[in-house]
Copies of this chain bind each other. A is one copy, B any other.
Amino acid sequence: MSASQSYIHCQNCNFSHLCLPLALNTDEMDKLDTIVKRNNPLHKNDYLIESNTPLTSLYAVRTGSFKSYIEDDDGEYQITAFHFPGDIIGFDGLREKRHVSQTQALETAMVCEIPFHMLEDVAEKLPNLRNQLMKFMSAEIQQDRELVMLLNKRNAESRLLYFLISLSKRFEERGFSATSFLLPMTRTDIGNFLGLTVETVSRLLTRFQKNGLIKVEGKALEILKKGDMEQMLTDYHINIDSI
């Protein structure tokens, strides 16, 4: 561990309330902390995980952001998640102890690496940690299923609204502004994730802006009418033109 990073521990991490330490007491956190490796930063487009490689570690995002995607034989790919600080990456590989997706940095980013065999050892002694791991996986299942519903039942407008609102919430949970942030991913990434074309995403962002819901300028997004946007998601009969 380099000197410059030696002071970083779960105990003083800004995102521990979202991360694995969540349910652990100080002692337990110390145990977890001893197995965490904190590596050099990754840069934009660097791979954190390549698919089909053996699963040796899980990763917790410390700073920056990532996208994970699966790819089929035709090279067609599907972004399955965007990851922000506190998120744990790698659960989909547990089944075959082999990564089934790729994870790439969207910007300069750092992670905490948690070697899997050591995590298993620690978890052996810490029921809380085991529980926490299960909860994380369960949450992922729940989220994926909500995404399926979104894709199957909602139109392009709702999907993008949902995406923006959910980003906003995630930034807020992490102590960032809920109403003003940078989109770390491209429009193409957003479209890929939501099952829309780039063109549709772009057109909708423009339309949201014209209707005064948001302000976009490149990567910079400002959410102007969060309440209205949230309501459009709940009562999905309301659409953007009724605002």
Give the B-binding residues of A (Cβ under 8 A): 70, 72-74, 76, 78, 80, 91-95, 100-101, 120, 124, 127, 130, 133-135, 137-142, 144-149, 151-153, 192, 194-195, 234-236
Taking the nearest CB of chain B, how far is it from the CB of A17, in angstroms? 16
Is the Cβ of B153 less than 8 Å from the Cβ of A151? no
Considering the chains assembled together, what is the distance between the CA atoms of A135 and B100 in angstroms? 13
Inter-chain contacts of A72 with B (CB < 8 A): 149
Inter-chain contacts of A91 with B (CB < 8 A): 137-138, 141
A78 touches which one: B101, B145, B236 (CB < 8 A)?
A: B145
Is the Cβ of A74 less than 8 Å from the Cβ of B145? no
Is the Cβ of B74 less than 8 Å from the Cβ of A236? yes
Considering the chains assembled together, what is the distance between the CA atoms of A60 and B140 in angstroms? 21
Is the Cβ of A92 less than 8 Å from the Cβ of B151? no
Inter-chain contacts of A94 with B (CB < 8 A): 134-135, 137-138
Inter-chain contacts of A149 with B (CB < 8 A): 70, 72, 76, 78, 80
Inter-chain contacts of A120 with B (CB < 8 A): 127
Is the Cβ of A138 less than 8 Å from the Cβ of B95? yes
Pairs of residues from A and B, 10 with the lowest C-beta to C-beta distance, nearest first: A152-B195, A94-B138, A78-B149, A144-B144, A95-B138, A137-B137, A80-B145, A95-B139, A92-B141, A151-B151
Inter-chain contacts of A195 with B (CB < 8 A): 151-153
Inter-chain contacts of A153 with B (CB < 8 A): 76, 78, 195
Taking the nearest CB of chain B, how far is it from the CB of A177, in angstroms? 27
Taking the nearest CB of chain B, how far is it from the CB of A97, in angstroms? 9
Considering the chains assembled together, what is the distance between the CA atoms of A79 and B131 in angstroms? 27
- For A74, give the chain B residue with the smallest CB separation: B236
Considering the chains assembled together, what is the distance between the CA atoms of A133 and B133 in angstroms? 11
Is the Cβ of A78 less than 8 Å from the Cβ of B134? no
- For A195, give the chain B residue with the smallest CB separation: B152
20 further contact pairs, Cβ within 8 A, besides A80-B148, A80-B149: A70-B146, A70-B149, A74-B236, A76-B153, A78-B149, A78-B152, A92-B142, A93-B138, A94-B137, A95-B135, A95-B139, A101-B145, A130-B130, A134-B134, A137-B138, A141-B141, A144-B144, A147-B148, A148-B148, A152-B195
- For A135, give the chain B residue with the smallest CB separation: B95
- For A71, give the chain B residue with the smallest CB separation: B149
A100 touches which one: B130, B134, B142, B194 (CB < 8 A)?
A: B142
